[in-house]
Amino acid sequence: MRVNWSSARAQEQAQTAHVCRGYLTMLRNECKRPRNPELAVLVEQVVPDRDAVFANRNEFMLHHNDPELATSFRNAFAERM
């Protein structure tokens, strides 16, 4: 499935969507502080967690392109819950 992020519907839904906690944690793991002040506050509220959440964007890409790595991340996350 592909999402057309530029469609009017996707843009409208994005305005009210919750921010993914995993995304916030990944930003915190990377020591990235968004320029958007509202998003920056949310990033500051999460604790870095490089074991359960991607430590960086490379791990994120590997996760989505390598089925074995995706399974290992899912298993590690399930054990922590």
Mapping DSSP onto H, E and C, the string for the chain reads: CCCCCCCHHHHHHHHHCCCCHHHHHHHHHCCCCCCCHHHHHHHHHCCCCCCCCCCCHHHHHHHHHCHHHHHHHHHHHHHHC
Q: Is 71 inside a domain boundary?
A: yes
Q: State the distance between the two ends of the chain, measured CA to CA, in whole angstroms.
A: 28
> Residue 28's domain spans which residues?
19-80
Tell me, what's the pLDDT at 42? 92
Q: Is 56 inside a domain boundary?
A: yes
Give the mean model confidence (pLDDT) for residues 23-49: 90
Q: What is the pTM of this model?
A: 0.59
Q: Is 67 inside a domain boundary?
A: yes
Residue 67 has pLDDT above 90, yes or no: no
Q: In which band, very low, low, confident or very high, does the pLDDT at 44 lie, cut at 50, 70 and 90? A: very high
| Number of domains comprising the chain | 1
Q: Name the residue among 19, 17, 56 with its Cα closest to residue 40.
A: 19
Q: Is 14 inside a domain boundary?
A: no
